[in-house]
Amino acid sequence: MAVMPSRTRRDRALLGLFVDAARNGVHTADLLNRLLLQWPDDAGLLAQIVAAEHEGDRIAHDILHRLAERGSPLDAADVHALACALDDIVDHAEEAADRLSLYRVEAPTDPALEIAAVLVDTTHEVALAMDALEQGANPSEHLIEIHRLENAADRLVRSAVASLFADGIDPMAVIRWKDIFEALEDTVDSCETVANVLEGVALKQGRSLRR
């Protein structure tokens, strides 16, 4: 059996770290969704989300360390942007969970549950896109779906924020839930940033990932 060039092995290892980061994003989104579904019962989920955020930091550090030590066939700026975007998914999800606790929210709202469900779907598409990239396949269908889901999340957030002001609820509750909605939106936006970076990589390689 022919031995692959060492540079190819290093690239496959790097892509494997990206896959790990994406799967950690799925895990964190699932935890956040479960937390919202059963809030205010924490059941240890907040601590698990914090642990997942730390794991995301570790993976991002490993990606950037490998890049600095061994380089990559991918553009260094793209590797950095992709690592940061994948880490941001987990960071913003942890931030949303933290705000639930910080603001002592009594119960979840229907819009929050809807946005969290879209987030779960979006992170799954990110993971599938990274799996495809690792395998040398075309992730275009997953990138298109990420953009569609991000647009759906945007509509849900706009509607949720508008309803806060229209329903005449306590001003402090408006501020708290607006903050939580925006943290959820930032999490989904980070998924779209991953898709944007992957599309940029495709353009540099002279082909479209959207075919």
pLDDT at 168: 65
Q: Where exactly are the structural domains of the chain?
A: 6-204
Mean pLDDT of 140-167: 94
Q: How many CB atoms lie within 10 A of CB 71?
A: 14
CA within 13 Å, CB half, 101: 15
CATH top-level class of 6-204: mainly alpha
Q: For residue 168, what are the contacts with CB-CB under 8 A and spacing of at least 6?
A: none
> With 80 as the cut, is the pLDDT of residue 2 above it?
no
pLDDT at 192: 98
pLDDT at 70: 84
Predicted TM-score of the model (pTM): 0.90
**Cα 79 to Cα 18, 25, 143, distances in angstroms:** 9, 17, 17
pLDDT at 169: 73
User: Which of 65-79, 86-100, 166-180 has the lowest average pLDDT?
Assistant: 166-180
